Structure 1
Amino acid sequence: MKKTFIGCLMLLASIQPLYAQSTPLLTDITERQAQLQRTGTWTLAGWSLANLAVSGIAIGNAKGSARYFHEMNLYWNAVNVGIAGAGLLSLRKKSPSPTLSSAVKEHYTLQKTLLFNSGLDVAYITSGFWLLDKSKSETTVTRQNRFRGFGQAVVVQGGFLLLFDVTNYLLHRSDNARLHQLMDKVTISGNGVSLRF
């Protein structure tokens, strides 16, 4: 019992110094990830607000397929502004000092989400081209213009989102090596937890 108690005390005494020594690298990685998320979210918000402004002004004088192009841009970017706003609010509520486990989980969850979104973006672009193709077979001018304008807008917006998501994925993925380097320093054995430097 005495050996177990002393062993527990030694383990507890060693964890804080180990955590303190690993904190700068973990903090550096999590701060960079948070900054990338902030920059990405502000980029999405800026793109969306610019689209809302341009299409909001242009729709008044637009005719034919251009009117439907600006109409779809307004719908699409109203949703994007909501997504960006929610993202910025969630970034404000983030924990400033996550554990190694939570940092790893968040890091890879974000990458998976960006890859999933990239797949959705390809689907958006494909559906935009389908709308453009469908516009050629429509018999009324109004429907031709609607499908053409909506298709053009979906291709443009999907193209931006694909570029946005792939770029963000690559930026976040560039930290994988540093995160693995940090995880490789942690060893768990029957004798306790150790951190190599």
Structure 2
Amino acid sequence: MRKFLFSLSIVFFLVSFDAFSQNLDISSAYQNDVKIRKTGMAILGSWALVNIASGAIGRSSGVGQNAYFHEMNLMWNLVNLGIAGAGYYFTATGDMPSNASDLLSDQVTFQKTLLFNAGLDLAYIAGGFYLLERAKNTTSRPERLRGYGKSIVLQGSFLFAFDLILHTIHTNKSSQISDFLSHVYFQNNQIGIVMGL
């Protein structure tokens, strides 16, 4: 009897989940998600282009640590431009999820990626400060270490702010998924959906 009731509960849950998820406008939620991601990649790409242009000019006209600062900005942002371009392309050409579960999974993965990147950004900043500190204790091209260190601190700081702001916006604007999840509850060994709210 317990197995029967458990099986019946699972079937009821799945049917309810499917019926409730149909009320979620998946297309609208997906388009909102795409808009946020495209805007983020456009901002990252713009930052990269400005840094590539100023880095090329600064490297050719600068001397000492200033030249190395611009050199690292140029190299770093060639990578940023590639990431922004690929991110924009894959966002623009991606397929819309067919159900709320896939949409939620995709959004959660994106948000986790942003948080992971923010952790990497802190490592970049720490690496930049390490180079600045190391420059104080070496006679072998300390100007290069200072220039690279300052650039990496700047680039890491921008990326840290960028990732956290994009994560916050994405989380806040993904309200349809959050609203949907507010109707799902877990209690003891049970899972359910509150209907009609």
The TM-score normalised by the length of structure 2 is 0.80
Matched to 1:22, the amino acid is N
Alignment of 1:28 onto 2:28: yes
SS in 1 for 2:136: helix
Aligned residues: 176
Q: 1:147 aligns with which of 136, 145, 148?
A: 145
- Alpha-carbon distance, 1:39 to partner: 0.3
Aligned runs of 1:43-58 on 2, under 5 Å?
43-58=43-58
Structure 2, unmatched stretches of 5+, are 1-11, 186-192
Matched to 1:146, the amino acid is R
Aligned to 2:164: 166
Contact 2:21–2:100 under 8 Å retained in 1:
no
**C-alpha distance in 1, partners of 2:94/2:196?**
29
Alignment of 1:93 onto 2:90: no
**C-alpha distance in 2, partners of 1:37/1:71?**
29
Alignment of 1:38 onto 2:43: no
Aligned to 2:114: 114
Aligned to 2:180: 182
Contact 2:52–2:73 under 8 Å retained in 1:
yes
Alignment of 1:135 onto 2:131: no
Matched to 1:101, the amino acid is S
Contact 1:58–1:70 under 8 Å retained in 2:
yes
Deviations 1:167-186 (A, max 9, x none): 01111111455313224557
Matched to 1:42, the amino acid is A
Q: Tell me which stretches of 4 or more aligned residues in structure 1 moved more than 6 Å.
A: none
Deviations 1:93-150 (A, max 9, x none): 211353111101011101110010000000000000010111111124xx11000000
**C-alpha distance in 2, partners of 1:169/1:92?**
19
**C-alpha distance in 2, partners of 1:58/1:158?**
19
Matched to 2:74, the amino acid is L
Contact 1:136–1:144 under 8 Å retained in 2:
yes
- Alpha-carbon distance, 1:28 to partner: 2.5
Contact 2:121–2:159 under 8 Å retained in 1:
yes
Contact 2:21–2:99 under 8 Å retained in 1:
no
Contact 1:18–1:194 under 8 Å retained in 2:
no
Between structure 1 and structure 2, the one with the greater Rg is: 1
Alignment of 1:103 onto 2:97: no
**C-alpha distance in 1, partners of 2:124/2:40?**
20
Contact 2:34–2:92 under 8 Å retained in 1:
no
**C-alpha distance in 2, partners of 1:23/1:60?**
55
**C-alpha distance in 2, partners of 1:167/1:20?**
28
Does the C-alpha gap of structure 1 residues 178 and 92 become closer, same or farther in structure 2, counting only changes over 3 Å? closer
Does the C-alpha gap of structure 1 residues 183 and 196 become closer, same or farther in structure 2, counting only changes over 3 Å? farther
Structure 1, unmatched stretches of 5+, are 1-10, 188-192
**C-alpha distance in 1, partners of 2:176/2:22?**
15
